[in-house]
Structure 1
Amino acid sequence: SNNAFICCAKLLLYLDVIYDKLRHILQSFANSSHHLIPTFELSVKQVMESETTVNDVVDIASEELEAAFSQWSISEDVAKAEDVVDKRVIPGGRNVLITSALPYVNNVPHLGNIIGSILSADVFARYSRLKGVNTLYATGTDEYGTATENKALEEGVTPKEICDKYYKIHKDIYDWFDISYDYFGRTTTEEQTAIAQQIFWRLHENQYLLEEVTQQLHCPKCDRFLTAIAQQIFWRLHENQYLLEEVTQQLHCPKCDRFLADRFVEGNCPFCDYCEARGDQCDKCGKLINAIELKEPKCKLCSTTPQIRSSKHLFLDLPKLQPKIEEWFKETTQSKENYWSQTAKVIASSWLRDGLKPRCITRDLKWGTPVPLEGFTDKVFYVWYDAPIGYPSITAHHNKHWEEWWKNPEDVTLYQFIGKDNVPFHGIIFPASEIGTHDKWTIVNHLSAVEYLNYEDSKFSKSRGVGVFGDNARDTGIPSDIWRFYLLYIRPESQDTTFSWTDLMNKNNSELLNNLGNFINRALVFINNNFDSTIPEMTFQSSDKTLLARINRELVHYFDLMDKIKLRDGIRHILNISRIGNQYIQAAKPWELIKKGPQEKARAATIMGLAANVSALLSVLITPYMPNTSAVIQNQLNVKINLLPKDNRFHCILKSGHKISKAEPLFKKLEAKEIESLKERFKGKQEKTDTNGTPEADPFEGLTSDELNACLTTQADKVRQLKSQKEPKPVIEKEVKILLDLKKRLSLLSGNIPQNNLTNKNNPFEEF
């Protein structure tokens, strides 16, 4: 039938979705094969019963065909003037403010860091601009704190020299990846000090700060224990009495004679016993740590065992602010106009559910924003308080109208892109600082937090040389657009995903070379060779209108997903349009028609004229993902398009008589030999395994509540069967442990049952 090519293309799309889920399952299959089968079955059922799937196989009515043809015939503007540098807010209009998590300046970002925030934010910023929305994207480097001091000591230079060196490294990497930020700045500016201190004083005035004397680790050998916006916020918090003073216990190194802030001390994690846990967080289990909780702590500078000493510090009174935060959080996350990723909502909700605790905002360090309050002027602000203020301070450094963006919640919508480890700071603590000032700050409306990206069967590690880092990507010979495409194709939106060289090769060769690139190239080459590089006259038949209608259906999905920041799924609908286009050409066989009579030649003209217009549409749809490829396509089409259709429908872009340029291939095939060489190059030094062999991967990592429920039911049945068969007790206990772990995970994910309430008398799994 005329729709046969559509059905085939659609089936391929859904098989691709199912394959992605299957890959995740198979990665753990060797360790545990039985309990993930229900997860896979559930995933397939959800895909095939979804509203999207059902709608896409419904026949197209004649009314939809005629509507698609009518929309096609309407001309729309496809280009707009370039943005100005000093952007202003449009009163009463739609103004979108975008930030991505500020990376620590002292490290080179790896692929997981890049997709986790800055690349994702770039895609959405480009998409927003294509929709004609007034958009400002600000990001930069986080330069204060112990990480910078530590790196400076390692390299024997000043913190300022470290910041200058790595700021350039970061900017060069992001420029190579074609990140389209409006401002890429730093937190070591006068504007940062002023705003941080302003917020501090407002919190102090409003009585949201506490004073405490703390005990810290201090190194006797080293003898070491505001930019404008940060200080503004500080003073507002001070005025509003949201600051507390307390004496706290801290680690102090007697040899270095200094307090040991988080990055200057390492020891065994009190939760999982990981031997290289830092004084602020464990990289293995991800839990936040108080440095004095570390077991067997050591000064990172001289390996001396530190002592516990007291130091007076300021705390943000989060318990006092919690009612205001909860009110804001509920209003924000329940609004249909706002989008928070599930990861962001779950983590932020758990913090609120468990009750907020006072949080220290000062440090015994030299490198940082100075605290302006008498009695604390020898201290600096804690980086978790100070760093998010970098967003407004970077804007202020480049734009004198910064307050139009950052103190204007009525006219500005704020999107923030982060990794899941940053959710507490962006979803709770930074909003708390803004709320505590009692000023009208622009607070996050949409929070997109992603899971982790792993590397092959390991994790990224600069020290072990495992994985691709930003500076490495430039040296592989693979264009930046290919990196962007693949990272977005595997973006870890709802669960951890894995970078795979083989999968990168396959996606490049199948989706880009054979699908997208093949469709556009064959259409343009045909017009070059048979129509003197001129778009021919087009006379539509029913099958052509069907193509328009099918593309419009794909566009509906594309815009809906992009608006909800589901960037990974958005790209699949772009590829489906080119896949449909390929099937359309293949079914019509214009290369045969062109050799026949006038009627057949006219038919070939319509087919290829329509194909060229689909190519033009694809060129603008892929702009957020592959900006260089988009520019190349538009150069070949001899057209400039920087606006998406306002009504989200397919319109004629290239009129009959329009001259195109010479077509050239868009992509190159990646060869297996080349990929194997790169895989070997970046595998690094392999970690030694213990005598028990390689640790098993976590088969339940990243599963949704429905998927966990399916696993839970299957596991419960298995335990009952083992008990009925009177299997040995150790065998049963092992499976019961898995069952209770599943129950615990499901409880924590749903947020309904406390972590320690898994075996009470009301627990249906008490029998086990």
Structure 2
Amino acid sequence: MSCEKKPTPVVGERNILITSALPYCNNVPHLGTLIGCVLSADVYARYCRMRGYNTLYVCGTDEYGTTTEQKALLEHCTPQEICNKYYTLHKEVYDWFDISFNYFGRTSTEKQTEITQDIFKHLNDNGYIYKDSVEQFYCEKCDKFLADRFVEGVCPFCNAPGARGDQCDSCQKLINTVELINPQCKVCHSVPVRRSSEHLFIDLPKLQDKLGNWANETMSKYEWPNNCACATKTWLNNLKGRCITRDLKWGTKVPLEGFENKVFYVWFDAPIGYLSITANYTDDWKKWWMDNEHVELTQFLGKDNIVFHSVLFPSTLLGTGESWTMVRKLATTEYLNYEDCKFSKSNGTGVFGDDAMKTGIPPEVWRYYLLINRPEQSDTVFLWNDLMEKNNNELLKNIGNLAQRTLTFAVKNFDNKIPKKITKITEVELNCEKEIKELYKEYLNAMENVKLKEGLKIAMAISSVGNKYLQDTAAWKTIKSDKERAGDEIYYALNILYFVSLVLDPYIPEFGKKVREQMNLPAIPLPNDFGLLLEGETILKN
């Protein structure tokens, strides 16, 4: 889904800029990708819009680098053809999951080249780029230097097999490719040899003071998650120059004499994609990305991408000397695993976006399950029986029950209308109101601090209060002797249902939409407090 109106920051108002880590376009996204960045960011974006904040949510496919070249080799086509194919597949999956991007773009664009090269030139002019010779693996059989993801071997840190030449999936440590034990070329499986190649580096030690001051202040002020803060501090304590070029053809060309045959390393290039994707969406992109005072940037990502967003990308922006919008909140997650193993398309394990689309299970159920199972503090596990249990015992028995009982009762007993606005507030309503007000205060606090799992649990707790109110008042009994009081009770229950549709809207928007359609009422911005929101006597839709 795509929002039509293009938001613009306004001084004096809340301006929220949201990004999801850009997924590689070499495969169909799996559920871990969805909950780790895309779906989580969608919930926050929907919440911000419902609070009336000027909100821009951008994402897109990360299309350059070795993963794309590698996939193109496997599928016997060009990198651009791979990008076109998987961009479409990603878009289809996200549309099905009802992700409300303002814009879903891609990095293989002219804007990406223009902005990346401009940022590099500023870094180079400011003295933060240096040259150095690097020992790389060269495959004599393929007759080319092997970029990091074209090499695989045993991790030098944890001895896990199958470690890539840039990072180990098992221990998450970044690897210098030539440190791999028992390396192999991933294309032909021969053993590569070492050769020297000149590359460009960003001088992180020279940026130590700027980066350290910014990072320490930001992670403290905005309470970065523990995994994020720990990984960032570890890097800050041992900053080294980081190579930002690769011997590849598919990528953003390096605008420097002697380096015309090289491209930028994907993790130098990819985060700049947030800027270029925004620039492809709106000519006012600099109003979002060059206003650190008035724009609040929140970025969503998995734990394997932390240092790229907390150290490398901020260093790149700080080194230009320009007034870029810097990240405030980093919303990171641990891993979502599948049953007793990891998600892996090649191994046939896990649930991928296209798989979910074929199950017949509605997107709302998937959204709810992934969000209530969001791996915020530690890894969580996807289990099929747990998915079914949460659908039956939480969605259907809680919010489904509240909606069905209240709407059916009103249709049957009050001429297909919401009863007139309650006039006699009793102690049971006052107690209910007090409980919901307290829960809603906690909900707003959780959502503002991007504690999305907590926010969902609170929203479901508000629905439970509604169900308890129905049981305590028993309007189906009251109506036998006092129809006016029964009308007050069902009005109040419908008022709670309408409120529940609003607080759940960021999470399961289709539920809220259906409830409000049946109530013949529009959505409204999330209020500052709970109260009587319904005017009463609105005709319901059967």
Report TM bin, short chain.
over 0.9
Q: For residue 651 of structure 1, report the CA deviation from its aligned partner.
A: 2.3
**Which amino acid counterpart does residue 632 of structure 1 have in structure 2?**
K
Question: For the residues of structure 2 that align with 1:661 and 1:557, how far apart are their CA atoms?
Answer: 33
Is 1:640 matched up with 2:526?
no
Q: Tell me if the contact between 2:6 and 2:102 (Cα under 8 Å) persists in the aligned partners.
A: no
User: Which stretch shows the higher mean deviation, 572-581 or 131-140?
Assistant: 572-581
Is 1:498 matched up with 2:381?
yes
2:339 is matched with 456
2:391 is matched with 508
Question: For the residues of structure 2 that align with 1:97 and 1:341, how far apart are their CA atoms?
Answer: 19
- Matching residue within 381, 384, 388 for 2:271: 388
Is 1:467 matched up with 2:353?
no
Question: For the residues of structure 2 that align with 1:356 and 1:272, how far apart are their CA atoms?
Answer: 21
Q: Tell me if the contact between 1:87 and 1:399 (Cα under 8 Å) persists in the aligned partners.
A: no
- Matching residue within 73, 84, 98 for 1:164: 84
Question: For the residues of structure 1 that align with 2:249 and 2:269, how far apart are their CA atoms?
Answer: 14
Question: For the residues of structure 1 that align with 2:359 and 2:3, how far apart are their CA atoms?
Answer: 33
Q: Tell me if the contact between 1:267 and 1:294 (Cα under 8 Å) persists in the aligned partners.
A: yes
- Matching residue within 550, 573, 579 for 2:435: 550
Is 1:341 matched up with 2:212?
no
Q: Write out the 4+ residue segments of structure 1 that deviate beyond 3 Å after TM superposition.
A: 82-86
User: Which stretch shows the higher mean deviation, 381-390 or 525-534?
Assistant: 525-534
- Matching residue within 102, 106, 109 for 2:22: 102
Is 1:315 matched up with 2:197?
no
- Matching residue within 409, 414, 418 for 2:292: 409
| Unaligned ranges ≥5, structure 1 | 1-81, 194-227, 663-768
Question: For the residues of structure 1 that align with 2:404 and 2:4, how far apart are their CA atoms?
Answer: 35
1:723 is matched with none
Is 1:541 matched up with 2:541?
no
Question: For the residues of structure 2 that align with 1:630 and 1:477, how far apart are their CA atoms?
Answer: 20
Q: For residue 278 of structure 1, report the CA deviation from its aligned partner.
A: 1.2
Q: For residue 529 of structure 1, report the CA deviation from its aligned partner.
A: 0.4
Question: For the residues of structure 2 that align with 1:575 and 1:651, how far apart are their CA atoms?
Answer: 18
Question: C-alpha deviations, 1:237-271, integer Å up to 9, x for none?
Answer: 01100001101100001111100011111112212
**Which amino acid counterpart does residue 234 of structure 2 have in structure 1?**
S
**Which amino acid counterpart does residue 113 of structure 1 have in structure 2?**
T
Question: For the residues of structure 1 that align with 2:245 and 2:284, how far apart are their CA atoms?
Answer: 30
Q: Tell me if the contact between 2:65 and 2:251 (Cα under 8 Å) persists in the aligned partners.
A: yes
**Which amino acid counterpart does residue 277 of structure 2 have in structure 1?**
I
Q: Secondary structure of 1:232's partner?
A: helix
1:242 is matched with 128
Question: For the residues of structure 1 that align with 2:89 and 2:197, how far apart are their CA atoms?
Answer: 37
1:88 is matched with 8
Q: For residue 83 of structure 1, report the CA deviation from its aligned partner.
A: 6.6
Is 1:519 matched up with 2:439?
no
**Which amino acid counterpart does residue 133 of structure 1 have in structure 2?**
Y
Is 1:258 matched up with 2:178?
no
2:236 is matched with 352
User: Which stretch shows the higher mean deviation, 113-122 or 580-589?
Assistant: 580-589
The higher radius of gyration belongs to 1
2:459 is matched with 574
1:616 is matched with 498
- Matching residue within 508, 514, 534 for 1:654: 534
Question: For the residues of structure 1 that align with 2:9 and 2:50, how far apart are their CA atoms?
Answer: 17
User: 1:568-717 alignment to 2 at 5 Å?
Assistant: 568-596=453-481, 600-645=482-527, 647=528, 649-662=529-542
Q: For residue 84 of structure 1, report the CA deviation from its aligned partner.
A: 5.2
Q: For residue 580 of structure 1, report the CA deviation from its aligned partner.
A: 1.3
Q: Tell me if the contact between 2:3 and 2:100 (Cα under 8 Å) persists in the aligned partners.
A: no
Q: For residue 275 of structure 1, report the CA deviation from its aligned partner.
A: 2.5
RMSD between aligned residues: 1.2
Question: For the residues of structure 2 that align with 1:178 and 1:589, how far apart are their CA atoms?
Answer: 37
Question: For the residues of structure 1 that align with 2:403 and 2:285, how far apart are their CA atoms?
Answer: 43
Q: For residue 372 of structure 1, report the CA deviation from its aligned partner.
A: 0.2
**Which amino acid counterpart does residue 582 of structure 1 have in structure 2?**
N
Question: C-alpha deviations, 1:182-220, integer Å up to 9, x for none?
Answer: 010000011101xxxxxxxxxxxxxxxxxxxxxxxxxxx
User: Normalization by structure 2: what TM-score?
Assistant: 0.98
Question: For the residues of structure 2 that align with 1:576 and 1:272, how far apart are their CA atoms?
Answer: 43
**Which amino acid counterpart does residue 140 of structure 1 have in structure 2?**
G
Question: C-alpha deviations, 1:462-521, integer Å up to 9, x for none?
Answer: 112111100100000000010000000010001111111111111111111011110111
**Which amino acid counterpart does residue 266 of structure 2 have in structure 1?**
V
User: Normalization by structure 1: what TM-score?
Assistant: 0.69
Q: Secondary structure of 1:423's partner?
A: helix
Question: For the residues of structure 2 that align with 1:378 and 1:554, how far apart are their CA atoms?
Answer: 59
Is 1:369 matched up with 2:289?
no
- Matched length: 539
Question: For the residues of structure 1 that align with 2:169 and 2:8, how far apart are their CA atoms?
Answer: 41
Question: For the residues of structure 2 that align with 1:519 and 1:86, how far apart are their CA atoms?
Answer: 36
Question: For the residues of structure 1 that align with 2:19 and 2:298, how far apart are their CA atoms?
Answer: 7
Q: Tell me if the contact between 2:210 and 2:318 (Cα under 8 Å) persists in the aligned partners.
A: yes
